[in-house]
A and B are shown apart, each in its own frame.
Chain A
Amino acid sequence: MANRFSIKHQPGFTAIAATCFIVLYLPIVVLVIYAFNAATSTSEWGGFSLKWFQSAWQNTQVIDATLRSFQIGATAAVFSTIFATMAALATTRTAPYPGLTFKYAAINQPLMVPEIVTGVALLIFFSRIKIFTGYSGLGYLIAAHTAFCIPFAYLPIRARLENMDLTLERAAADLYATPWRTFRRITLPLLWPGILAGLMLAFVISLDDVVITEFVKSGGQDTLPTYMLGQIRRGITPEINAISTVFLLLSVAIVTLFFFISRKHA
């Protein structure tokens, strides 16, 4: 019996698994259902309607915040992935040396320092820069997002690099490829699934951020999450549910897309 010790056969396994899934997904299912509520309440069902989707679509503030979120997310994801790729190469394509662990910690710092601390620090830091330069555009949000996205992009890229056979790069060098061409023709194509995973993760993390954005943003720079938070303070309508539902679908679509792209490359 190959499966005798399988965890699936332990008593209570199914019940525990089912409970976990219900706790995770039931609230989301309820949220999605109430996005189609004809009534103005998020708890009393008043029949099926698409009106909240329509109202969200016609709400220029929602559209602005969404576009801003995408703009910040895309830019921050690209920059953080470039930095993360360079960091991953520098920390794996070298013999271990004293201080390497410290560098890992420095790169992964945003995962360890509480977001609220980073938020406050950036608020103070950027306000000084704003006074000196007079610039108050999206650059501050992009810079902040890039910084905290780096570890999320770094981890899958580094994992991919660590599993890559170093002999391949050596073989390319042996076959007359200069270090740059070895990188372009061998390392980069083989690293591509890791880079895509990093890019996707960074994008989704940026899209989702509230705490740091809330501290760094200037007036009129709401992203979709900070806009939604602001709306909820004034009272919830199913419009929030509708926006969340679209947001959810978009995230799932992006993750699925990247999954298939990276699987094709792997």
Chain B
Amino acid sequence: MPDKPDRNAIEVVKVSKIFGSGEGQVAALDTVSVSIRENEFFTLLGPSGCGKTTLLRLIAGFDFPTAGEILLYGQDIAPLPPFKRPVNTVFQSYALFPHMTVAENIGFGLEMLGKPKAEIKARVDAMLKLVKMEALSARRTSQISGGQQQRVALARALAPQPKVLLLDEPLSALDYKLRKEMQIELKRLQHETGITFIFVTHDQEEALTMSDRIAVMSSGKILQVGSPRDIYDRPSERFVADFIGESNFLKAEVVGVSAGRATVKLSSGTEIPASLPEGLVPKGKVTIVVRPEHAQLSAASPSASLSGTVENIVYLGTDTHFHLRLADGEPFIVRRQNSRGTGDGIVQGGKVGILIGGDAAQVLKD
């Protein structure tokens, strides 16, 4: 990843959005602050109802915040109507104009900006080329496939060269294979245009594949912002660890903290090192998280971090999941990549040891 200039395209400052009034009021966003850098592929990830689409709508101007500021390169755009913001949106339903051709759809924004005809034509042609839709420019939008409509929606939103492109779950209507293709396509478009992308999705895999940085949201708050690797390897809260990937949660007790790392004592009595979320100085009882592929199996021995009984072995082709029951009754899953060869003597009902390496455990805030 090349170094990105540390300039912020969007700064969301203490934004709240409250729907309804009196008893029935709901905070869709609760004092959210986040900075999105120039040229970044930024993803808002969370389950439905977490406020990610509300935040996108506030940036687009389809709704106005109850409190707070939204800065676009330093200028507060929160009170501006959508047609005065140099920000364009790719809608979940694409929202292509059915009474216009593909080319007319793509040129609409430029036309509304009052650009000269020749410039519009040149720009529309360039956009058609960018999304590989040259052959279908004269078609009606109802005469093209879902994947093609998706490309037109992208071209239409990119044509006026917005400062920021907003994408509201644009891939959710596509089938699996097309979705995979479009993920790579979107990355390419972002790279080629150099436009800041803000992408909303509930699909963790999509977020991990495409993003430079991810903000994980839940109940109107941003829980954690970081690179896909940060979010996956160093989840700061239980919700983040649970929402992205599979996780083992273990109860532990902090026995020492030094230089941003802690030593924790597991239920088995073994002490292991664990990383800490930024700014957290933990004390007493905590929960730690270990990803299933970050733990190893060994023969049952006192040197293992934990020991357990094999309850179930699930063979998945590329890897195998071992469902274990720990001595204290908690479940634990270990994932191991398969290689060719015969088994290794681990059988259902057998006793095994679990090794948790030096960098595998992470202390959670909650």
Binding site for B on A (CB under 8 A): 165, 167-168, 170-179, 181, 185-186, 189-190
Name the CB-closest residue of B to A190. B99
Contact of A176 among B60, B97, B98, B113 (CB under 8 A): B113
> Chain A residues with Cβ under 8 A from B73's Cβ?
none
Q: Which 9 A-B pairs have the closest CB atoms?
A: A175-B109, A171-B95, A176-B112, A167-B95, A173-B82, A177-B112, A174-B89, A176-B83, A189-B99
Q: Are B82 and A165 in contact (CB under 8 A)?
A: no
Q: Are B83 and A174 in contact (CB under 8 A)?
A: yes
Q: In whole Å, how far is B331's beta carbon from the nearest beta carbon of chain A?
A: 44
Annotate B54-84 by CB proximity to A: 1 below 8 A, 0 otherwise. 0000001110000000000000000001111
Annotate B91-113 by CB proximity to A: 1 below 8 A, 0 otherwise. 10101111100000000110011
Contact of A171 among B87, B89, B99, B160 (CB under 8 A): B89
CA distance A171 to B105 in the complex (A): 11
Can you show 16 pairs from A to B with CB atoms below 8 A apart? A167-B91, A170-B62, A171-B95, A173-B62, A173-B81, A173-B83, A174-B82, A174-B89, A175-B83, A175-B160, A176-B113, A177-B83, A177-B108, A178-B112, A181-B112, A190-B98
Q: Are A176 and B91 in contact (CB under 8 A)?
A: no
> Chain A residues with Cβ under 8 A from B61's Cβ?
173-174
Q: In whole Å, how far is A175's beta carbon from the nearest beta carbon of chain B?
A: 4
Q: In whole Å, how far is A182's beta carbon from the nearest beta carbon of chain B?
A: 8
Contact of B93 among A165, A172, A176, A179 (CB under 8 A): A165
CA distance A168 to B81 in the complex (A): 16
Whether, in the assembled complex, B88 has its beta carbon less than 8 Å from a beta carbon of chain A, the answer is yes
Name the CB-closest residue of A to B91. A167
* CB-CB contacts below 8 Å: B23-54 with A: none
Q: Are A171 and B112 in contact (CB under 8 A)?
A: no
CA distance A190 to B99 in the complex (A): 7
Interface size on B, residues (CB 8 A): 24
> Chain A residues with Cβ under 8 A from B109's Cβ?
175-176
Q: Are B112 and A170 in contact (CB under 8 A)?
A: no
Q: In whole Å, how far is B69's beta carbon from the nearest beta carbon of chain A?
A: 21
Q: In whole Å, how far is B25's beta carbon from the nearest beta carbon of chain A?
A: 15
Q: In whole Å, how far is A127's beta carbon from the nearest beta carbon of chain B?
A: 48
> Chain B residues with Cβ under 8 A from A167's Cβ?
91, 93, 95
Known: A176-B109, A181-B112. A170 touches B95 (CB 8 A): yes
> Chain A residues with Cβ under 8 A from B89's Cβ?
171, 174
CA distance A216 to B297 in the complex (A): 96
Known: A174-B83, A177-B83. A168 touches B88 (CB 8 A): no
Whether, in the assembled complex, B156 has its beta carbon less than 8 Å from a beta carbon of chain A, the answer is yes
* CB-CB contacts below 8 Å: B302-325 with A: none
Name the CB-closest residue of A to B153. A171
Given contact pairs A171-B95, A176-B160, A189-B99, a sample of 8 additional A-B residue pairs in the complex whose CB atoms are under 8 Å apart:
A168-B95, A170-B95, A174-B61, A175-B160, A176-B83, A176-B109, A176-B112, A176-B113
Q: In whole Å, how far is A15's beta carbon from the nearest beta carbon of chain B?
A: 42
Q: Are B93 and A175 in contact (CB under 8 A)?
A: no
Name the CB-closest residue of A to B112. A176
CA distance A236 to B61 in the complex (A): 68
> Chain B residues with Cβ under 8 A from A173's Cβ?
61-62, 81-83
Q: Are B156 and A175 in contact (CB under 8 A)?
A: yes
Q: In whole Å, how far is B104's beta carbon from the nearest beta carbon of chain A?
A: 10
Q: In whole Å, how far is A246's beta carbon from the nearest beta carbon of chain B?
A: 37
Q: Are B160 and A186 in contact (CB under 8 A)?
A: no
Q: Are A171 and B91 in contact (CB under 8 A)?
A: yes
Q: In whole Å, how far is A95's beta carbon from the nearest beta carbon of chain B?
A: 11
Annotate B323-340 by CB proximity to A: 1 below 8 A, 0 otherwise. 000000000000000000
> Chain A residues with Cβ under 8 A from B84's Cβ?
176
Q: In whole Å, how far is B50's beta carbon from the nearest beta carbon of chain A?
A: 21
Q: Are A186 and B82 in contact (CB under 8 A)?
A: no
Q: Are A175 and B91 in contact (CB under 8 A)?
A: no
> Chain B residues with Cβ under 8 A from A190's Cβ?
98-99
Name the CB-closest residue of B to A171. B95
Q: Are A174 and B88 in contact (CB under 8 A)?
A: yes
Name the CB-closest residue of B to A170. B62
CA distance A174 to B95 in the complex (A): 11
